[in-house]
Structure 1
């Protein structure tokens, strides 16, 4: 059986590596990252802030079905110029290349930081959990330039869907930890997204019939303050892990 082709941007990062392992059974995987020393097989080097470079990668993957877009500056404290070029311009370039090459769907790695300021403002930002359950219907409240850049990414995704029919699921990802252990940092009790719940969420987002959606990416933590009821209802997301039981 021929598997659908999937490109993961930023595939050599933490989340990219988890998804590379977790999605290999369902997709023919291709990767692109700026951090590579050389290109081999299905893996390419490109700077997504340069349209010609990322478009050339799309040209080398005929009949590409889907993209999981992770690449960009992941630093919460990213300065404006880096957030602009790597996260805003880069995301626009990925969408523009996907449209040009007739890609059906993009899973955009947004961030919980698009509503991070519900947890307070500096200097007390993120010291305490949000006192209310936050839904995707609540107004955006980014907590820095990184959050602003992810808001822009969600807007780009919406525009490409409305104008061009390019399907998108935007995932406001919580805390994905290298050791998958949420017991070391208090805030992880609320915002942890386990590796297997991450894979489930992305896989179901890729295969679901929804054409545009925004979901919070978080495990079934007892103390979570992000609402995932729309992901449960619309794509059948059923997180298996709870930080409070670890």
Structure 2
């Protein structure tokens, strides 16, 4: 998990002692300092562990009542997988975000052990006009300053907000547990993504950003979240019967950039 020592890796039922306890610290395009990593870990593991333990207690007191925990995670779980297709059966990566997701999922252990149906929502880039990614890139591209990032060959797994919400509602009703990739069925490379975004806002995508500049400015975040990627497929979601509203990038970005 990067620089963290093994003692900082709590097991499924162990509470992590945190100096900082912010709630829901967002992952932003900024360097991963030690204090920022601590906030990202604590804001996810503490709340998930507390909720999981509470559900385990409730399940023990009333074992006949069905209980469901849909717990957030991300496709960053897989690390940088290049052009290789990944599904829910693939192992965790080794970078900080991958190990953060692995610990986050492990924090639901008490609930799973108590018989609660737990689903790990491994979400891709959510596309909506209010999403930070779309707001930032949309502003840059509308100014005519957009282009591919790094080589452009890295995959950016995406999902529309409509399908993100639809998939969550679907998973509440079907008998599925374990990891589920919440990504669109047609993952795109960064070059394809930026080209389609430029087309949707009627601007050219002619100013590529070299990988060294991204990594120099953003450090570990840039290496793991911008110039790296996952060609993640929603195998278990589709097998469970979910049908996408936005099955292709063009449709999803058209909805996300509409004014």
Q: Does 1:237 align with 2:242?
A: yes
Gaps of 5+ in 2: 1-15, 18-22, 60-65, 190-230, 255-259
Partner Cα separation in structure 1 for residue 162 and residue 92 of structure 2: 28
Q: Does 1:170 align with 2:120?
A: yes
Q: 1:147 aligns with which of 98, 120, 123?
A: 98
Higher RCO, Cα 8 Å, sep 6+: 2
* 1:143 Cα deviation after fit: 3.1
Partner Cα separation in structure 1 for residue 58 and residue 174 of structure 2: 21
Q: Does 1:107 align with 2:107?
A: no
Q: TM-score, normalised by structure 1?
A: 0.57
* 1:237 Cα deviation after fit: 1.8
**Rg (Cα) greater in structure:** 2
Q: 1:203 aligns with which of 159, 169, 173?
A: 169
* 1:89 Cα deviation after fit: 2.2
Q: 2:108 aligns with which of 157, 160, 173?
A: 157
Partner Cα separation in structure 2 for residue 138 and residue 164 of structure 1: 25
Gaps of 5+ in 1: 1-48, 51-70, 119-129
Q: 1:87 aligns with which of 38, 44, 48?
A: 44
SS at match of 1:216: strand
> Is the 1:219–1:240 contact (alpha carbons within 8 Å) kept by the matching residues of 2?
no
- What does the per-residue CA deviation read over 1:135-182, in whole Å, with 9 as the maximum and x for residues that have no partner? 1111110432x4322211212335531x20011111110111340669
Q: 1:218 aligns with which of 175, 183, 188?
A: 183
Q: TM-score, normalised by structure 2?
A: 0.54
> Is the 2:73–2:121 contact (alpha carbons within 8 Å) kept by the matching residues of 1?
yes
Partner of 2:86: 134
* 1:110 Cα deviation after fit: 0.3
Larger helix share, 1 or 2: 2
Partner Cα separation in structure 1 for residue 185 and residue 169 of structure 2: 17
